[in-house]
Structures are given as C-alpha cells and as structure tokens.
Amino acid sequence: MQKSKVQFSVVMPIYNVAPYLEKSILCILNQTYLDFELILVNDASTDSSLEICRKFEKEEKVKIIDCSKNQGVSTARNLGLQSAYGEYILFIDPDDSIDLNLLEIYDQAIEKYHPDLVIVGAKEEYMNQNGKIEYEKVIIPEKSKVYDSQESIYEEALFLEAKTLFGYPWNKCYRTKLLRKNGVAFKKVKMIEDIQFNLELLPYLKSMQTLSIAPYHYAIRPNASLTHQKLADYFELHTTRITLFIEEYERHMP
C-alpha cells in the first residue's frame, strides 16, 4: 500500500555521529506539529549510529535507509529526497538540534503565504572539548518577509549569503515538488555542495519567505567537521563558492 502524503519530510544524513544522534532524533520526534515523517539515512556508519537509529524504527513516523557503502552526505540527502512523501522537505544535520516548535512555525508560514522556500536563522553554538556551550552567536534574516519576484528573491539571497544564511540547507524548508520537477539535487563536491544545491534551485523560485528568528541550533565542535579542518584547497573552495554565487546572480539579474 502506498504511503500517504504528509506535510513535512525531515531528512537526516548520518555518518558516525553516535554521541549526538539520539538528541537530534528526539528533538524532531517531539515536535509540537505532528504531520511529518523522519527519514534517517545511515551512510554506512562504523560506530553505533545505526543501532541508535534502530531504537526508533518502531515509531510510525520513522523510516531508516541503511546504505551498505559510504557515499557521502550529498548521496545520503538525495536518497532521502527520493523517498520523501512530504509536501515540503527539510535537511537536518545529525549533530545539531531544533526548537520543538520549528515544524509548527514552518506550517504557519506555509498556510498563510504558500512559499516555495522558507528560511530561518540559527544559533551558532560554539562547544568546548567537553561538549558544553562556551558562547553562542545568533544569526537571523533582517526581516520576516515574503519575496515574490525574481529580482527581490535574488537580492535577498545576496543579503542572506552575506550572513552565511543562504548556502546551508539545514535552515530551510523546501517545496518538494519544485526540487523534483526541476531535477535539483545535491552534487558530490567537497564543502560547496550546499550552496550549489541552493543556487541550482534559485531560478525556479516563485516565492521565498524569511523569518527573523533562530530556531535552529548549529553546533560547532572542535575538530568535528570538515569545515573546521585545515584544507590545502580551503581558499580555492571558498573562491569557487563566491564565484558560483556571482555567476548565478549575473546570469539572471544582468
């Protein structure tokens, strides 16, 4: 029997995040808004991440995709997108957390304005070696506003990127049909797969809403992610990121 549609699909790509995973899963399952599914994509973890996922497999809302071979975060997210039944889709990182009313916030925005994309802000939580928050930085869109012309969407995307809020997928709620109709998917590239995904979607957006709040908690841990490692091509990657954005903007906003 075919599964019925839900309002939201929450996709979580997972690879060796056992110390943080259960908290991330629970902050989704305990949402105040209930019409959602949670897709856990285990990308061949070698720690106990899969066992933690299995603890929740009896939950009606939970679907587990277990990959036999590690293929990277882009493939994991794409697998979640392919199997999603939600009208809208979210990509949540497995070592972060969200406020328990995030889906309710998204649903209220969608019910009122029906945007193709909703963007919120985030609390950057800087952790010490013991996993305690040493300090946090709140980054939010300047306004809570709906943008419904290509010019206004592109201009706001530039302002958001200046705050590092455009490139990430985890602070966004996407219309699933729009992604699938236009073949928008994550590419297997190091560090800039997120902004490539959002730039690929940008010309297809008919409406975009920003919310000047920070319900996403982005954990920044010492030596925990690719972003915080020393990379020989770090400058080149970020130059590419900026170049991609400028080229996309000039292509549609001459």
pTM value?
0.92
Q: Domain tally for the chain?
A: 1
Domain of 52? 6-252
DSSP for 35-49 reads -EEEEEEE---SSSH
- Report the CATH number that the domain containing residue 172 is assigned in CATH: 3.90.550.10
Report which of residues 249 and 80 the model is more confident about.
80
Residues 252/204, Cβ–Cβ less than 8 Å: no
251: which 2 tokens? Answer: 């292509």
In a domain, 151, yes or no: yes
Average pLDDT along the chain: 91
Residue % of the chain over a pLDDT of 70: 91
Q: Check whether 249 has a pLDDT greater than 80.
A: no
Q: Check whether 239 has a pLDDT greater than 80.
A: no
Report which of residues 156 and 193 the model is more confident about.
156
**Cα distance between residue 170 and residue 190, in whole Å:** 17
Confidence of residue 91 (pLDDT cuts 50, 70, 90): very high
Confidence of residue 254 (pLDDT cuts 50, 70, 90): low
CA torsion, ordered 25, 169, 173, 171, to nearest 10 deg: 70
pLDDT digits (tens, 9 = 90+) for 108-150: 999 999 999 999 999 999 988 888 899 999 999 999 999 999 9
In a domain, 211, yes or no: yes
Report which of residues 158 and 171 the model is more confident about.
171
Residues 37/63, Cβ–Cβ less than 8 Å: yes
DSSP lists the bridge partners of residue 13 as 41
Q: Cα 193 from chain centroid?
A: 12
In a domain, 102, yes or no: yes
In a domain, 1, yes or no: no
Q: How many residues does the chain have?
A: 254
Residues 66/50, Cβ–Cβ less than 8 Å: yes
Residues 249/154, Cβ–Cβ less than 8 Å: yes
In a domain, 13, yes or no: yes
Rounded to an integer, the average pLDDT of 198-217 is 97
**Cα distance between residue 79 and residue 50, in whole Å:** 16
